[in-house]
Amino acid sequence: MNPIFELTSKEFIKQKNTLNLIASENYPSPKTLDILGSVWSNKYSEGYPGKRYYAGNQFADELETKVQNLALEVFDKTGEYGVNVQVLSGSPANGMVYLSVLEYGDTIMSLNISNGGHISHLHATSNWNKFFKLVNYDVKDLGNQTFEVDLEDYKAKLLQYKPKLVIIGFSAYPRTYNFSEMCRLAHASGSLVLADIAHINGLVATGLHDSPFKAGLEGADFVSMTTHKTLRGPRSAMLFAKNYIPEFLDSVLKSEKPPKSLIDIVNKTIFPGTSGGPHMHQIAAVGQSLLEILGQDSYPDKLSFRQYCENVLDTCKSLENSLKAEGLEIISATQNHLCLIKLPDSADSLEMQKELESVGIITNRNGIPFDQKTPWRPSGMRLGTAALASRGLTTAQAIEIGKLISDVIFKRKSNSQTAQKVLEITTQLSWWYRDN
């Protein structure tokens, strides 16, 4: 058998027969995957609609423009944003913002990666530190193992360091943000704002989380996102930016020929500044997922996208409540699609992650606020239900999964018994892809 097809078949079976609780993964619709593997992959479309360097891009121009319009229809109610759909993934999208508006030695302020931030927002070993300075704002302990962004620390750091760019975003933060307040404060200090909503963009699109797409100083200047988490699209990204230059930026963006808009700066940074031909198959697949969000096409379960996102929130909370009832410590009770648990002090999170995988429960170990253990073997685990909600996960099943996780952690039952229960649940869940 062709070894690539054989490995693909093995991965297909593994995904079908396991419970995926990775908060950053999901199952796009079969239509989205079909388009991802379509003839769009054959086309080289270097440039932008109406201004390509190769011939034969009539339909590529129409496609890219259509996807841009769909993205703005989903997210922007203000009319103040433009969007670039050529960025290939989330971390590169953030990098495009850095290269668009920062100069050597400028300061970036972001949420401490140890307490919920993301690796692309700079950290101690980031290569971006060769060019920019890093300042972190942090979380504060509200008691009862609840941690939220420390706005007093945030304000103090803005005044002290005057960062050129502030990043509002997270990777393992179960709470919600107030984008308006954080944007206002940053803008008042003369800082640009990048909102990274890779994790919560599905919730933002449906109004289930506050949005950074706001008019004036209450809105982020840039919004980056991946498209494969709660948005339930392909592995890709989008980068939004204001379609004008805010007045407070006059002293920030220095140029002999001032740009017309922030999105214009972004576009030039992406092409020809750093990238060649866009991946049109990714762009097309993103468009399909946006059609499903808007109700112009549908996911196989026929639910509205808002109902899907509500199911994500409900099942995540049910999973968290179950884990708590079984004796696990919850870190910052969830207000979104993911929850964070603290493992017993005696547990090795790397080994526990492997053990859970051995019974068919796919998780990722994760640090918790002010963790005393190492990043490789941190104290906690991050769990999310976006992927399983796409397969029709119910709150009752989420509660059962919480019990199964606890059985493994506390060694209450044999792993063979737990593995059998996992398989029973996976057979009850929908599987939307054609068997190989």
Q: pLDDT by residue (tens digit) across 153-210?
A: 999 999 999 999 999 999 999 999 899 999 999 999 999 999 999 999 999 999 999 9
Within this chain, do residues 120 and 256 fall inside the same structural domain, yes or no? yes
Is 10 inside any structural domain? no
Identity of the amino acid at 382:
R
Give me the pLDDT at residue 251, please: 53
Same domain for 244 and 357?
Answer: no
Same domain, 384 and 287: no
Q: Which two tokens stand for residue 134?
A: 């890093």
Residues 254 and 317 in one domain: no
The two tokens of residue 319 are 């999973």
pLDDT of residue 253: 60
Name beta bridge partners: 241. 82, 222
For the chain, 436 residues long, give each residue's pLDDT as a single digit of tens. Answer: 899 999 999 999 999 999 999 999 999 999 999 999 999 999 999 999 999 999 999 999 999 999 999 999 999 999 999 999 999 999 999 999 999 999 999 999 999 998 899 999 988 889 999 999 999 999 999 999 999 999 999 999 999 999 999 999 999 999 998 999 999 999 999 999 999 999 999 999 999 999 999 999 999 999 999 999 999 999 999 999 999 998 777 555 655 567 889 999 999 999 999 999 999 999 999 999 999 999 999 999 999 999 999 999 999 999 999 999 999 999 999 999 999 999 999 999 999 999 999 999 999 999 999 999 999 999 999 999 999 999 999 999 999 999 999 999 999 999 999 999 999 999 999 999 998 6
Catalytic positions are 44, 46, 196, 226, 229, 235
Does residue 20 lie within any of the structural domains? no
Q: Quickly tell me which residue has 């030039």 as its tokens.
A: 268
How far, in Å, CA of 379 to CA of 187, rounded?
36
Tally DSSP H helices, then E strands, for the chain. 14, 17
The whole domain housing 395 covers 303-428
Per-position b or e across 103-115, b if 16+ CB within 10 A of its CB: eeebbbbbbbbbb
Residue 24 lies in a domain: no
pLDDT attached to residue 281: 98
202-225 in b/e form (b: 16+ CB < 10 A) is: bbbbbebbbbbbbeebbbbbbbbb
**Does residue 117 lie within any of the structural domains?**
yes
The two tokens of residue 162 are 């005057």
- In 3D, which of 377, 400, 376, 379 has the Cα closest to residue 388? 400
Task: Using the 3D structure, point to which of 264, 294, 324 is the last residue of a domain.
Answer: 294
Any domain includes 324: yes
Do 249 and 103 lie in one domain? The reply is yes
138/266 same-domain check = yes
Q: Give SS3 for 362.
A: strand
pTM over 0.85: yes
Name the domain count of the chain. 2
**Residue 143 in domain:** yes
The residues pairing with 238 across neighbouring beta strands, listed in sequence order, are: 225
352 and 407 share one domain: yes
